[in-house]
Structure 1
Amino acid sequence: MSRPLKIALVAGEMSGDILGAGLMQALKVQHPDAQFIGIGGPRMQAEGLNSYFPMERLAVMGLVEVLGRLPELLLRRRRLVRTLISERPDVFIGIDAPDFNLGVELRLRRAGIRTAHYVSPSVWAWRQKRVLKIREACDLMLTLFPFEARFYEEQQVPVCFVGHPLADSIALENDRAAARRALGVDEEGPLVALMPGSRGGEVQRLGDLFLDAATRLRSLHPGVRFLVPCASAERRTQLEAMLVGRDLPVKLVDGRSHEVLAACNAVLIASGTATLEALLFKRPMVVAYRLAPLTYKILKRLVKGPYVALPNLLAGRFLVPELIQDAATAEALADALSPLLEHGEVQTEGFEIIHRTLRRGASVRAAEALLTLIEQR
């Protein structure tokens, strides 16, 4: 090309900022003079992104919060679309945040700008009709998981499975003893990680339940101890309050969730991306989740498929126990965890195959697919 590539990206939260920064690094290897515009956080800005406004203005969780911010979000999206149509980037990449980005992609593609979406929404699981909008909005879908790519191929949406960056960054083998030394815990004896989530609502619903399960598990295995990684100071305060009056050998750790996973023998974990991390660390797990009753009733009708936990979705079978809503009792969780302390390898035998399947150099593969898309013009 006679001029530098101009690439637009929009990330709406920290996980997208991490993905975007890795993608920008890979793009700059082949195009060092590429220009980056759009919206991103500190990592993307450090890679050279000119962010039109703070990424935090897009990071909204919960229906009520979204409704309260909707006028601002719609105004920002209109202004962003106008700006990008004026800038005419070679490609626009929406990174996750589908409720915001798919609308941007649709308008830009109609204006003749190539568009891609990085990280598929859970359209294969619920609200499947969204695939019609995706087909109209995206020249290319970049997926993290192979089952997502198969879904899009069936729906005739151009797709590229790039793998997951976590599978690239987490080693195939991890040293449990070294992780325990780094965390300052005894190298001997069974250690269970309790991971009730990173958001306040998740910890509120699952924190006491996980601690009750830990109490029962200790009656079955008197020598067991527990590690709990705290995602923030607020989560630590929340968990400290839940521990008052309990006689449990629990160590709270600020962050360092990967070291906690490397150190433990088994994990009691909330459904979500953290279950993928536990799988990549080859740690046996029991997955649990609880939602507000009304939310659960609605989602139960909408969600398609027999699995909730990512390890089961990736394996295509019930590889790990998943106990959801009323099935998630302290007794059931402890009873499911108990055999994993002695025979966890029965569950983890398939984890390395999944790890290798996802370990594909995601950022590089995504960059190559996007450059190919640009060249097709």
Structure 2
Amino acid sequence: MSNTPSVPRYVIVAGEASGDILGANLIESLKKFCPDAIFEGIGGPLMAAQGFQSVVPMDRLSVMGLVEVLGRLPELLKIRKSLYQDCVDRPLTAFIGIDSPDFTLPLERRLKEKGVLTIHYVSPSVWAWRKKRIFKIKKSVDLMLALFPFELPIYQQHDISVECVGHTLADNIPLNCDQAQSREKLNIVNTAGPVFAVLPGSRRGEVERLAPLFIESMSKVLKDQPDARFIIPVVNDDRREQIASLLKGSNVDAIIVDGQSRDVMIASDAILLASGTAALEAMLVKKPMVVAYRFTKLTYAIMSRMIKVPYVSLPNLLANKALVPELIQDDATPDKLAKTLLTTWQEFKENQDIQQTYLDLHKMLRKNAGATAAQAIVDLVERKQAERKP
């Protein structure tokens, strides 16, 4: 087969909302190099707004946990097989997997064996657990696009082409955010007490495990701060209905907001959130936070034996110290979460060190990610095409 299409064609796979953000920014930047390029694969609404064609809804890939994925395995394998066949049957410029490594890396490996150029955007946490994956990664990708500087050494040690591109969120979020403006947007005015943003995750399974815990924590916060207000951003109607149902019967009168998670964070005085990209965004908007997570018991039993780093949240990994509190699994109790949230909120304004660290990390991650990633991809494509010429 010919690997070079007459019109540049990129097949991109993003499996969740954070990947959709990165994918949209990348497509926008790649179009500046090749305006007539075709972008297809699996992505979300932000990528679609850039002209991307998704063959299945992105949420079909949004599943987390070693055990949880088993129930969806037949469907995921069918989707992956279909993508592989499309990439083999129709010439493409490159395949780009954005995160979702358990889905994308095996696909990338098979495609690379067929001579397809493969790029992976967002390093798997190979530096933290399952370190032997680095050998599979080497066989799977022509280029790794990493978000964070601490991810580079393991790739360099194994002679894998890698580039640190920073994070789109760091580029898009101002160094200083306007809380009053965000409160006005959300119609949060005349607040006597603190405003807490609460983000129990975007997936149904996450919300099932974390929202009841967070609601109990909010209830306990109200005992100390009766005037406190809570805002919960949701990604879609299903999460809105799920959270509204869980709030019924509690004494917590939370405001549920469709989307606008960044404005919700900026409007808040402190944030209680599920571990993930939200913690990075909370750091970038310079808010005190408490990071919490609960896995199923079996998933946690497996993962806790494999993880080799002392932290789970990105702010702590980037700072290489306990910058923000992490309450994971059995430590994530309503009493501990409520107490830690209140303490973190009350102490933050006086803590100049953490505020300066937030700012320093934000500046470090500002690398114009989309353009930097696009340039690295275009350079790789041109180099490989030159090598193929007789």
Task: Name 1:239's counterpart in structure 2.
Answer: 243
Task: Name 2:101's counterpart in structure 1.
Answer: 98
Task: Name 2:176's counterpart in structure 1.
Answer: 173
Partner residue of 1:313 out of 305, 312, 317: 317
Distance 1:136 1:349 in 2: 41
Distance 1:57 1:215 in 2: 31
Give the secondary structure class of the aligned counterpart of 2:61: coil
Aligned residue identity for 1:54: V
Task: Name 2:279's counterpart in structure 1.
Answer: 275
Task: Name 1:335's counterpart in structure 2.
Answer: 339
* 1:185 positional shift: 1.7
Listed as ranges, the gaps of 5+ residues in structure 1 are none
Partner residue of 1:213 out of 201, 217, 239: 217
Listed as ranges, the gaps of 5+ residues in structure 2 are 385-390
Task: Name 2:208's counterpart in structure 1.
Answer: 204
Partner residue of 1:223 out of 223, 227, 231: 227
Task: Name 1:258's counterpart in structure 2.
Answer: 262
Q: Judging changes above 3 Å, is the alpha-carbon distance between structure 1 residues 211 and 65 closer, same or farther for their aligned structure 2 residues?
A: closer
* 1:64 positional shift: 6.8
* 1:275 positional shift: 0.9
* 1:44 positional shift: 3.6
Distance 2:88 2:161 in 1: 23
* 1:115 positional shift: 1.4
Give the secondary structure class of the aligned counterpart of 1:335: helix
Match status 1:304 vs 2:311 = no
Contact 1:181-1:187 within 8 A present in 2 as well: no
Q: Judging changes above 3 Å, is the alpha-carbon distance between structure 1 residues 177 and 59 closer, same or farther for their aligned structure 2 residues?
A: same
Task: Name 2:367's counterpart in structure 1.
Answer: 360
Task: Name 1:108's counterpart in structure 2.
Answer: 111
* 1:243 positional shift: 3.0
* 1:280 positional shift: 1.0
Contact 2:155-2:161 within 8 A present in 1 as well: yes
Contact 2:18-2:277 within 8 A present in 1 as well: no
1:318-343 per-residue CA deviation (whole Å, 9 max, x = no partner) reads 00010111111222122212233332
Distance 1:293 1:166 in 2: 32
Greater mean alpha carbon deviation, residues 70-79 or residues 134-143: 70-79
Structure 1 residues 41-52: aligned runs within 5 Å = 41-49=44-52, 51=54
Q: Judging changes above 3 Å, is the alpha-carbon distance between structure 1 residues 308 and 42 closer, same or farther for their aligned structure 2 residues?
A: closer
Task: Name 1:61's counterpart in structure 2.
Answer: 63
Greater mean alpha carbon deviation, residues 357-366 or residues 146-155: 146-155
Contact 1:114-1:139 within 8 A present in 2 as well: yes
* 1:138 positional shift: 0.7
* 1:265 positional shift: 0.7
Q: Judging changes above 3 Å, is the alpha-carbon distance between structure 1 residues 235 and 73 closer, same or farther for their aligned structure 2 residues?
A: closer
Q: Judging changes above 3 Å, is the alpha-carbon distance between structure 1 residues 35 and 198 closer, same or farther for their aligned structure 2 residues?
A: closer
Distance 1:306 1:69 in 2: 31
Distance 1:225 1:49 in 2: 39
Q: Judging changes above 3 Å, is the alpha-carbon distance between structure 1 residues 99 and 215 closer, same or farther for their aligned structure 2 residues?
A: closer
Give the secondary structure class of the aligned counterpart of 1:10: strand
Aligned residue identity for 2:110: R
Give the secondary structure class of the aligned counterpart of 1:208: helix
Match status 1:23 vs 2:26 = yes
Instruction: Provide the aligned length of Structure 1 versus Structure 2.
Output: 376
Distance 2:17 2:307 in 1: 26
Task: Name 1:117's counterpart in structure 2.
Answer: 120
* 1:14 positional shift: 4.2
Task: Name 2:8's counterpart in structure 1.
Answer: 5
* 1:141 positional shift: 0.2
Match status 1:81 vs 2:84 = yes
Distance 1:86 1:246 in 2: 55
Aligned residue identity for 1:304: K
* 1:288 positional shift: 1.1
Task: Name 1:134's counterpart in structure 2.
Answer: 137
- Root-mean-square deviation (Å): 2.6
Q: Judging changes above 3 Å, is the alpha-carbon distance between structure 1 residues 109 and 244 closer, same or farther for their aligned structure 2 residues?
A: closer
